[in-house]
Structure 1
Amino acid sequence: MGTEQIRRWESGALAHAVSDPFAQGPLPWLREGERYFDDGQLVPWYVELGCGQSSGGTVPAQRAAGPRTADDVHGQIKGFASAGAVAPGESIDFRVTVSPPQHFGVDVYRIGHYAGDGAAKITTSPRLSGIVQPAPLSADRTVSCHHWWLSWRLQIPSYWSPGAYVAVLTTDDGFRSHIPFTVRDFEPADLLLVLPDVTWQAYNLFPEDGATGASLYHAWDGDGRLLGEPDAAVAVSFDRPYAGAGMPLHVGHAYDFIRWAERYGYDLAYADTRDLHAGRVDPARHRGLVFPGHDEYWSVPMRRHATAARDAGTSLVFLSANTMYWQVELAPSVSGEPDRMLRCRKRQGPGKSALWRDQGPPEQELLGIQYVGRVPGAWPLVVQNSDHWLWDATGTQDGDEVPGLVAGEADRYFPRAPLPPHTERILLAHSPYRDAGSVRRHQETSLYRAPSGALVFAAGTFAWSPALGRPGHTSPVIQRATANLLDRICKRD
């Protein structure tokens, strides 16, 4: 099938990108290739468009020249890491395919503020010999590249700072792809940032080739048409690249928080959700756990460990919406590596769905609110209880609107669902909007104090983290409110 028949704006990447109206490239080297439809709509940085027609008309030429993004049809350069998170002193393996075979290099960046650059180059690989790796294996919609040969092993020096990293792969002829990974840190720190790698993998449609790729949302039929959830994968593997540019959908939300938090000097440690699942996170070492981005897929151990953290006095901060919606299982890969396979049956087959609210205690029992639905466009967040300390120094009054802060997806309080145990509880925003069917709904932002003293905050919207500093979407109100929350958790004067 030719690339002209696989139109990325009909694919899983853009299908989900519409729920993230702020999906701009958070990193300087990814902002070079932004394109616009003739109606002015920005195409997200991780969507590479070919020549053709969009629903709005002809796609114009790229605004600025830059390295070409590898695609999943030709596989000019694609790769994945042997682990999502690794500690200083350990090594991480990269398995990379290059077509046609040629030399390539890897530049490793760390995400942070870095005087506004958004990232800093930490190291560069030797010049590496690239090969065409075997075709991905596929069985029952599950795609895996676990059989690829090792391309480069990176030993993480003991002096590297923990954080979110991106390996940028570039071929001699100028094609580029990416591999995200985390350098974890279990040393005491005020805040532990938990990156949502389980949710990132659930959305991964690799290979986005019109034939074999599948996620927990989509798969292809024999004619290259994209199928929905009833025909999607039930299990997806971490042993494969991310589709398209090689970066996960919604990754920018986590990076938005990182850049802001590091700019203002918060004491951060780093882990991913599989660390939480495996019990490697010791909440006693931290005043708060921060979940900075879209974090929809939770296993039973993830929820158990987060609940135990709250009950032991560690605060929880959820900066997105639609958190803990699907209940999932993590299993070993075919080679026996733990937690390299993600399973979620969703609505396929008889019995209850895999929603948390159907399988066990609803998510509101931990979050304080829960998912209500998608939000078309961007709507204002309407401040409520403005005399609460979260809104201190924001200049807001009850009924004031923070433009564009209710977007993507939204949560609210469900009166018929159980509440978490609490000594104090308050709703800090009540924001009307209309859904895709023009039905009037509302979003809410929640904060409660558990009997242990822990605070649990849920933003209830996708747009909170982008408002911390993403160009064109920064809100001083949200910046101040987030600082008020974290400063109280960290007990800053």
Structure 2
Amino acid sequence: MIEGYLGRESVTAGRVLTLHVSTDAPAFRVRFHRLGRELTFMARTPPFPGVPGSAPPHPDGVAAHASPAVDWNWPAYEVRIPRDWPPGVYLAHLVECGGRRTEPVPLLDAAGIEGYEREFFVVRPRDPGRRARILYKKSTFTRHAYNRSDRADLERASSLYDHPVHQEARDGQRAGHRLSMHRPGGVIDLAYWDAPFIAWLERNGYDVEYCTDLDLHADPGLLDPYHLLLSVGHDEYWSAAMRAHVAAFVRGGGNVAFLSANTCWWRIHLTDGDTAFVSDTDHRVGETYPHLPATDLWWPAPPDGVGEPENTLTGVSFRNGGMWPGPWPGDRPLGGYTVQHAGHWVYEGTGLRDGTHGGTPDALGAGTPLVGYECDGAAFARDAAGTAYATGVDGTPESFLILGLHFLEPVHEDLHHPLPGHWNCPAREPAVTSPRAATMGIHTAGGTVFTAGTTDWPVVCGRELDAGVVRVTRNVLDRLAHRTTADR
């Protein structure tokens, strides 16, 4: 048995990475791989002495479940990352030595990115922005929210969604669900969303540097050297500092591509030296909701929420979208996005048409699961010609141009049809303000913001399942990788 977690999920090349490892083996090594056009073995450490760690008991006395709320405080091991390692996302594969293990452990390949006994981290360059003007943000806060702290032989089911821990507001602490980022859990979301897209970026010659949510939160100047920020996959949990830094970047002419959804839905508050966070969410604890309304939703007006709708930044919101039922990743609709404004530069070279030719509009990504696990939308109406436009009643900027829509049938979760365990949010939005539709679009606010409106855009592009999605992605990256305001 071996498992572990990182002291912090990013490190500058040449500096020390701290791993916290628990094992019943007498010794272990760490093998390092880099995600790129393929999974590349980089190095291995000498043996470290193995020490078993324990899982802290759940504070509510939930039998057989560990606490997701506190630092697990496992033994720490330091590894200096070579100065010449290129920027990227890396895997730390924990391998037992000696003891009961007699068979050699093979090196990981692309099929072995997901799994236990491994963690991921970002290597940042010593001179940020010198070789790349695109910064890829790995959504680590969202990863921690869903991390169940399971291992291959043990289901602990301890997360922000599974047996969460709620704290009251006292002794200077905020009320809300508390979550430590110092817990094990292996690699899941990285393999699904990020790995195929990172491989696609490198195959196609895009120079990219990487950061985590915590990097963006902690460093107001992080974005200064870059022209384009990428948000990829499932990007649900944001701190106020993260959001302020991105908004300032856009106002100053920086560009953002949200190839993601459920984006910026919950606000979080860092604590414990940035190793844990608190968020007042609507997650059920046992059979009760400890605090409603859940005041860390970004969009509702105070005192019921933050009062800063996420779509003022992204153009879209999960409250006008939804998610699909069943086990993750679940089923997907295959209709794609109905095209609007096919003459826009985003669609250049796709050959797609929007119905102005007198025929039926084409659909971007038709036949693929483009409209993903979760999707975001904008409140909209139609003009006399039937073209959808953003009304702005939900906070979407006036300049937001809807480029594609996918109407959501009533089989998904939205604020009016919540899945079990989620609070019925229509208490704060009693009327449907717009049809629910996944929405792809773009707006300008100094710089340019493109939003894909779906978590699974990077999967369809990265696996090259649709030529139109690939071309749109190239158009967005090629245009927005320069800090000059793009025309709508």
Matched, 1:217 2:167: no
Shift of the 170–148 alpha-carbon distance from structure 1 to 2, 3 Å rule, reads same
Residue 214 of structure 1, CA deviation:
2.0
SS in 1 for 2:281: coil
CA contact (8 A) 2:124 2:210 kept: yes
Structure 2 unaligned blocks of 5 or more: 61-66, 106-115, 166-175, 283-289, 301-305, 326-330, 355-360, 380-390, 418-434, 484-488
Partner of 1:449: 444
Residue 351 of structure 1, CA deviation:
4.0
**1:151-170 → structure 2 map (5 Å cutoff):** 152-170=77-95
- Amino acid corresponding to residue 148 of structure 1 in structure 2: W
SS in 1 for 2:234: coil
Partner of 2:199: 259
Residue 83 of structure 1, CA deviation:
0.9
Shift of the 284–201 alpha-carbon distance from structure 1 to 2, 3 Å rule, reads same
Partner of 1:355: 297
Partner of 2:48: 128
Partner of 1:389: 345
CA contact (8 A) 1:203 1:249 kept: no
CA contact (8 A) 2:148 2:156 kept: no
Residue 318 of structure 1, CA deviation:
0.6
Partner of 2:276: 341
TM-score of the two chains, using structure 1 as the length reference: 0.73
Partner of 2:373: 408
**1:46-125 → structure 2 map (5 Å cutoff):** 76-99=1-24, 101-113=25-37, 118-125=38-45
CA contact (8 A) 1:375 1:433 kept: no
CA contact (8 A) 1:212 1:219 kept: no
TM-score of the two chains, using structure 2 as the length reference: 0.74
Shift of the 272–483 alpha-carbon distance from structure 1 to 2, 3 Å rule, reads same
Structure 2 distance, partners of 1:297, 1:406, is 20
Which stretches of structure 1, 4 residues or longer, exceed 6 Å deviation after superposition? Answer: 208-211, 437-440
Structure 1 unaligned blocks of 5 or more: 1-75, 222-232, 333-337
Give the alignment's Cα RMSD to 1 decimal.
Answer: 2.5
Partner of 2:237: 297
Structure 1 distance, partners of 2:117, 2:482, is 41
User: Cα deviation per residue 1:2-47 (whole Å; 9 max; x = unaligned)?
Assistant: xxxxxxxxxxxxxxxxxxxxxxxxxxxxxxxxxxxxxxxxxxxxxx
Matched, 1:477 2:468: yes
Matched, 1:285 2:234: no
Structure 2 distance, partners of 1:199, 1:437, is 21
Structure 2 distance, partners of 1:445, 1:281, is 29
Structure 2 distance, partners of 1:489, 1:277, is 23
Residue 207 of structure 1, CA deviation:
4.3
Structure 1 distance, partners of 2:154, 2:203, is 42
Partner of 2:411: 436
**1:310-329 → structure 2 map (5 Å cutoff):** 310-329=250-269
Matched, 1:187 2:128: yes
Identity %: 30
Residue 135 of structure 1, CA deviation:
3.4
